[in-house]
């Protein structure tokens, strides 16, 4: 946007909204919802201002990461006309490089400011979690040795969109008391589904990433590996809550999560046969929605299972 444009047009706002990648925001929201539900079960209530602040911080970090991804993928030549995913504002020239850099810096500064408020409430553990999350968001694609370019992104997603987020959320409700082990283990569920979301993206972009030396796991080990990774992530995520119910002596209410198995099997079949953007892009959106549904169902059934 040039200096002569005092405000963004409706179409520009739509481009900026699309650039936040709304479907990926479920990956930030889901573990926070699940951590909060486990905290609610313990106290039969929440510190709602802190909960909302946690949601806002997680969302800001995710949007900053998405913006940063656009900046560095563009700078390193990973976003080209051959891209099979939805066109990005920076890639298409609708958003200038300078505007994208400014938005990235501003979003991460917002995330840092919100993190300070959480730090004042939760102390040093929150400082380290927030710092690691923001730095990981920056170095997710910053440079050829970044997480996304070396195949380390999958591990990062499992950890930070899983146990780190659920445990951090739980901890903020009970500062200075370490979360019980089940909070960490349950956190693997959203982390696994978020990784499945990443895997579809990498499978779709495998040829483009290979030509740009972006060494995702799909590029390193091939499309068959990526399809198997997707299946394993979804299956383990759905098996995890019932297993945890057994381990913690809960009722089988959490089996209601298995209503998602037909949807999961349908998505696995689509990933097994899909090779192009038109075939896999809908799977991305459906997997993101499945992640949110998973978090909501867990948030309802887990406290009921312990009642």
Per-residue pLDDT tens digits for 119-154: 999 999 999 999 999 999 998 877 778 888 888 999
230 within domain boundaries: yes
Contacts of 88 (CB under 8 A, 6+ apart): 18, 19, 70, 74, 79
Whether 4 maps to a domain, the answer reads no
Residue with the larger pLDDT of the pair 49 and 3: 49
Looking at the structure of the chain, the number of domains it has is: 1
- Which positions ≥6 away from 115 have C-beta within 8 Å? 57, 126, 127, 130, 131, 134
Compare 170 and 45 and report the one with higher pLDDT: 170
Asked if residue 1 belongs to a domain, the reply is no
Question: What pLDDT does 162 receive?
Answer: 95
Residue 166 pLDDT grade (very low, low, confident, very high; cuts 50, 70, 90):
very high
Residue 3 lies in a domain: no
Q: CA-CA distances (angstroms) from residue 108 to 35, 60, 176, 245? A: 23, 7, 26, 38
Residue 84 forms part of a structural domain: yes
* Position 10 in a domain: no
pTM of the full predicted structure? 0.89
The Cα-based distances of 205 to 78, 245, 251, 258 in angstroms read 10, 38, 42, 30
Structural domain includes residue 12: no
Residue 71 confidence (pLDDT): 85
Closest by alpha carbon to 36, among 24, 20, 53?
A: 53
Reported as a pLDDT band with limits 50, 70 and 90, residue 6 is: very low
pLDDT at 79: 57
Q: Is the pLDDT of residue 82 over 80?
A: no
| CB distance 91 to 83 below 8 Å | yes
Please, are residues 74 and 198 in contact by the beta-carbon 8 Å criterion? no
Supply the range of the domain harboring residue 69.
19-306
Task: Give me the pLDDT at residue 92, please.
Answer: 66
| Rounded Cα–Cα distance for residues 128 and 236 (Å) | 29
Q: Establish if 11 belongs to a structural domain.
A: no
Confidence tier at 73 by pLDDT (50, 70, 90) = confident
């Amino acid at each position: 946007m040039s200096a002569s444009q005092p405000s963004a047009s409706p179409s520009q706002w739509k481009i900026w909204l699309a650039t936040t990648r709304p479907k990926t925001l479920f990956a930030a929201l889901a573990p926070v919802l699940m951590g909060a539900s486990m905290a609610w079960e313990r106290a039969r209530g929440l510190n709602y201002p802190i909960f909302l602040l946690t949601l806002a911080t997680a969302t800001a970090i995710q949007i900053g990461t998405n913006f940063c991804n656009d900046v560095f993928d563009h700078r390193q030549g990973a976003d080209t006309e051959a891209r099979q995913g939805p066109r990005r504002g920076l890639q298409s020239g609708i958003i200038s490089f300078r505007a994208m850099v400014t938005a990235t810096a501003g979003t991460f500064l917002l995330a840092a400011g919100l993190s300070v408020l959480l730090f004042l409430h939760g102390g040093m553990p929150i400082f380290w979690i927030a710092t690691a999350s923001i730095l990981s968001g920056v170095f997710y694609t910053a440079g050829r040795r970044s997480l996304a370019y070396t195949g380390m992104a999958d591990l990062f997603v499992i950890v930070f969109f899983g146990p780190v987020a659920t445990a951090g959320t739980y901890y903020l409700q009970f500062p200075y008391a370490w979360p019980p082990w089940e909070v960490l283990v349950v956190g693997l569920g959203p982390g696994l589904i978020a990784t499945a979301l990443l895997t579809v993206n990498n499978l779709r972009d495998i040829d483009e990433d290979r030509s740009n030396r972006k060494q995702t796991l799909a590029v390193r080990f091939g499309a068959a590996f990526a399809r198997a990774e997707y299946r394993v992530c979804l299956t383990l995520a759905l098996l995890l809550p019932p297993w945890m119910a057994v381990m913690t002596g809960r009722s089988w209410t959490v089996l209601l999560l298995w209503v998602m198995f037909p949807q999961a099997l349908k998505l696995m079949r689509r990933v097994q046969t899909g090779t192009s953007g038109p075939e896999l892009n809908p799977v991305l959106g459906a997997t993101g929605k499945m992640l949110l549904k998973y978090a909501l169902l867990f948030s309802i059934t887990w406290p009921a299972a312990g009642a």
